[in-house]
């Protein structure tokens, strides 16, 4: 610790002079003011910038969203609308399509984006060479501007001149329309294409977090498992997975929340809707309501949609907190 605490090296005379000068004056003024009040005031002074930003750009918009969702606005006059906005979005057939698609994306993204990084991390953790290189490789796409990566994938996905169809063609496999596939039956080729691009872009983060978790597993556990005659898969099943359970469940939750907000992937790959609305997500619908329907743009209906999404995500994270709490409670005596 001691070597961390190196105060900035300043010439010896200056700090001493300042301490007696300015410090002395401050001490005398401190006597005139109640010191506790003074302490609180200076604490609030440090806090005020952060609190103002949170209030304006986080807390207030949240309250505002709820209020807006029950209002309507016509020619600049705002009045209460009761549940009209909610009725409107529930009666919109795209609402249900968007939820179905979002759910489909979330499930597929978990299949790819949750399981693949875990096994990649296990694989990388076993290798004794080229560690730094492989880690950099996996994380590199995460650093790219998403538009660069997605425009590149849109180019690869092109049905006529794209690289992917060329590869399939060379291997004598049936080619695909990729993101432009018209199908709407689960799992749609369009959504799988979106998920592949999203996984390529984002898997680095999860992989490296898993890798760190794997390195924290005490080696004795594997040795004990070997003495008990466990093979490779049993070691994964009974040592690796239980030991990383906490981080696995946390990433699972964060990933569900992140994927349910899917927007930019489909927006850049196919304009957001896809063919027959088969990649239209809930956040894209919010965007459409608020900003894209130029004549009928409706912030209030968009806010109602936001509230619905917020409630669903809230149920997810609330459920996670509740589940992990009880599980912790139950598992503590055992481990």
Partner 1 sequence: MADTYARSLISPAQLNRARSKIVYRIVLTAVIVIFTLVFIGPLYFLFTDGLKSTQEAIATPPTLYPHHLHPSSYVRAWNEFSLGRLLLNTLYYAFGALAFQLVFDVAAAYSLSRLRPALGNVILAMMVATLMIPAMVLIVPLYITVANLPIVHINLIGSPAAIWLPSVANGFNIYLLKRFFDSIPVELTQAAAVDGASPMRTLRSIIIPISRPILAVVSIFSLVAVWKDFLWPLLVEGGYNPPRETLNVGIWVASQTAPENMVLAASAIAAVPTVVFFLIFQRNILAGLTAGGIRG
CA 80-280-91 angle, 5° bins: 40
Place of tokens 């981080």: 247
User: Please, which residue, 97 or 240, has the CB nearer to partner 1?
Assistant: 240
Residue 48 burial by CB count (10 A; 0-12/13-18/19+): exposed, middle or buried?
exposed
State yes or no: residue 162 binds partner 1 (CB under 8 A): yes
For position 250 contacting partner 1 by CB under 8 A, the verdict is yes
Rounded-to-integer distance, Cα 241 and Cα 233, Å: 11
Pick from 71, 175, 261, 324: which binds partner 1 (CB under 8 A)? 261
Our finding on whether 6 is near partner 1 (CB under 8 A) is: yes
The rounded distance, in Å, linking the Cα atoms of 156 and 294 is 32
What is the spatial distance between Cα 332 and Cα 334, in angstroms, rounded to a whole number? 5
The interface mask with partner 1, positions 47-66, x = CB under 8 A, is: x-xxx-xx-xxxxxxx-xx-
Nearer to partner 1, 11 or 333 (CB): 11
Q: What is the CA radius of gyration of the chain?
A: 27
Beta strand residue intervals within 207-319, DSSP E: none
Q: Which of 70, 86, 238, 263 binds partner 1 (CB under 8 A)?
A: 263
Q: Given the rule CB under 8 A, which of 101-109, 117-125, 173-181, 183-191 is the region that contacts partner 1? A: 117-125
Contacts of partner 1 in 75-114 (CB under 8 A):
none
Omega before 187 within 30 of 0, i.e. cis: yes
Q: Is 224 in the site for partner 1 (CB under 8 A)?
A: no
- Sole binder of partner 1 in the list 102, 190, 200, 274 (CB under 8 A): 200
Q: Which is nearer to partner 1, 187 or 205 (CB)?
A: 205
Q: Which of 103, 166, 238, 242 binds partner 1 (CB under 8 A)?
A: 166
Interface with partner 1 (CB under 8 A), residue from 33, 115, 144, 241: 144
Site for partner 1 contains 231 (CB under 8 A): no
Q: Which of 175, 235, 238, 245 binds partner 1 (CB under 8 A)?
A: 235
Q: Does 306 bind partner 1 (CB under 8 A)?
A: yes
SS3 state of residue 296: coil
Instruction: Out of 194, 209, 266, 269, point to the residue binding partner 1 (CB under 8 A).
Output: 209
Question: Phi and psi of 302, rounded to 5°?
Answer: -60, -40
Distance CA(85)–CA(291), nearest Å, equals: 16
Residue in 156, 202, 203 with CA at minimum distance from that of residue 179: 156
Instruction: Give which of 181, 166, 157, 187 is closest to 268, Cα–Cα.
Output: 157
By CB under 8 A, residue 136 contacts partner 1: yes
287 in contact with partner 1 (CB under 8 A): yes
Q: C-beta of 144: minimal distance to partner 1 in Å?
A: 5
The region of 77-85, 163-171, 185-193, 323-331 touching partner 1 under the rule CB under 8 A is 163-171
Alpha-carbon distance 197 to 44, whole Å? 46
Our finding on whether 240 is near partner 1 (CB under 8 A) is yes
CB of 91 to partner 1, least distance (A): 20
Instruction: Give the range of 81-89, 98-106, 152-160, 180-188 binding partner 1 by CB under 8 A.
Output: 152-160
Among 12, 76, 219, 229, which residue sits at the site for partner 1 (rule: CB under 8 A)?
Answer: 219
Quote the strand ranges of the chain, DSSP E: 71-74, 77-80
Q: Half-sphere exposure (CA, 13 Å, Cβ side) for 158?
A: 8
172 φ, ψ to 5°? 60, 35
Binding flag, residue 155, partner 1 (CB under 8 A): yes
């Amino acid at each position: 610790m001691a070597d961390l605490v190196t105060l900035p090296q300043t010439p010896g005379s200056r700090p001493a002079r300042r301490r007696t000068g300015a410090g002395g004056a401050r001490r005398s003024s401190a006597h005139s003011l109640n010191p506790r009040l003074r302490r609180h005031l200076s604490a609030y002074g440090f806090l005020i910038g952060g609190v103002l930003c949170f209030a304006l750009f986080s807390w207030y918009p949240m309250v505002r969203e709820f209020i807006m969702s029950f209002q309507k606005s016509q020619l600049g006059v705002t009045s209460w609308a009761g549940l009209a906005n909610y009725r409107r979005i529930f009666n919109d057939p795209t609402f249900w399509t968007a939820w179905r698609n979002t759910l489909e994306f979330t499930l597929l993204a978990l299949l790819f984006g949750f399981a693949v990084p875990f096994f990649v991390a296990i694989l990388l953790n076993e290798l004794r060479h080229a560690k730094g290189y492989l880690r950099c490789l996996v994380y590199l796409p995460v650093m790219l501007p998403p538009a660069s990566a997605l425009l590149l994938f849109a180019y690869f996905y092109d049905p006529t001149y794209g690289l992917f169809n060329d590869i399939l063609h060379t291997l004598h496999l049936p080619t695909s329309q990729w993101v432009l596939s018209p199908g709407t039956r689960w799992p749609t080729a369009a959504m799988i294409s979106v998920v592949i691009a999203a996984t390529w872009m984002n898997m680095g983060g999860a992989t490296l977090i898993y890798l760190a978790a794997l390195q924290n597993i005490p080696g004795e556990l594997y040795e004990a498992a070997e003495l008990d005659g466990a093979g490779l898969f049993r070691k994964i099943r009974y040592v690796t997975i239980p030991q990383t359970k906490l981080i696995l469940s946390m990433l699972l939750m964060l990933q569900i929340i992140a994927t349910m907000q899917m927007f930019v992937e489909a927006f850049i790959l196919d304009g957001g809707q896809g063919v027959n609305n088969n990649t239209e997500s809930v956040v894209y619908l919010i965007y459409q309501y608020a900003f894209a329907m130029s004549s009928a743009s409706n912030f209030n209906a968009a806010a109602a949609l936001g509230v619905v999404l917020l409630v669903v995500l809230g149920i997810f994270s609330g459920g996670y907190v509740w589940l992990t709490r009880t599980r912790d409670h139950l598992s503590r005596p055992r481990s």
